[in-house]
Structure 1
Amino acid sequence: MGKKLESITPELQEFIGMQKVFFVGTAAEEGRVNVSPKGTDSFRVLDANKIVWLNLTGSGNETAAHVLKNNRMTILFCAFEGKPLILRLYGTATIFHRRDSEYARYIGLFPANAGARQIIEMAVDLVQTSCGFAVPFMDFKEERETLNSWSAKQGEEGIYAYWQEKNVRSLDGFETGI
């Protein structure tokens, strides 16, 4: 059934590349635990123990706030098609904003997106697989274009204003680094 590994194997990297959605879990020492679904072409495995993902503009910015308070992170993938598998990546994360040189280094790994808000780098220290026997089959229909369309309509100034209104603090009042 399940295995604990020290790094992402080539087979697991291939599995990650086929997934259309992943989930990110974070928590500060106090306050709420956050689990966020993520989609689009926004996840990259850099090597066996390092990943990056593009964090898009959203109604909140819990992940960034939590990582600034406590940088532990869990990422979860589920096989909704094919062979059952649940994959968890555990590690510590760093947030990069547009003003950071690391953001500029990584942004070219992803398709252009007007709503790009941060890039999150995670050092993976544990990889865990489990069976996924109870995860239902679901067919992928298509990507939603709603966020990309909305972000493009806002333009850079509109996105920045939205961040100031909605993304500066978490639900628990923690700063997000915006």
Structure 2
Amino acid sequence: MTYRKNYFEHKINGQLKPLGNSVNKLYTVQDSGFTGNSVNKLYIVQDSGFTGNSVNKLYIVQDSGFTGNSVNKLYTVQDSGFTGNSVNKLYTVQDSGFTGNSVNKLYTVQDSGFTGNSVNKLYTVQDSGFTGNSVNKLYTVQDSGFTGNSVNKLYTVQDSGFTGNSVNKLYTVQGSGFTGNSVNKLYTVQDSGFTENSVN
């Protein structure tokens, strides 16, 4: 979960080096022509410099006109002060008027007590009535035991049962049916095989 920046400049000692502005940490990109901040599709960003809506950590953005901190749509936030539905760690928000903890829509949760589908780490939930482990909609999972298509790192799932093609880079897929490691719908994957300009 440590890929940096939007695109990578080159490899040094086996590590990808960041290239671009502002954002320089975790992100997900769904755009064949990503060129810095002119992203017009889906991507995740972790930037301590983010100041929109008093958020300064992890957030996901889906905005055709993203220009830095002027984002007001989909983003993820990591804030220990979050109290909605007894969640106080990592969560994602889809609300143009996000003002702190008054979020009640889309959010991501990091809870070691999660037992749905044998997953007990990171997952995202899209449910205004989230009450712990009774989530059955959208969520993200980080599980080294994931074996679907030889992927064993980070992925997001919406539904149950994955049977798509083998992917070895960074991507997000939308489908239906989740049953543990046989995910076949919406999921995001972070693989060491990710390289510059390889997102589409």
Q: TM-score range by the shorter chain?
A: under 0.3
- Normalized against structure 2, the TM-score is what? 0.23
TM-score, normalised with respect to structure 1: 0.24
Bigger RCO of structures 1 and 2 (CA < 8 A, at least 6 apart): 1
Higher strand share: 1
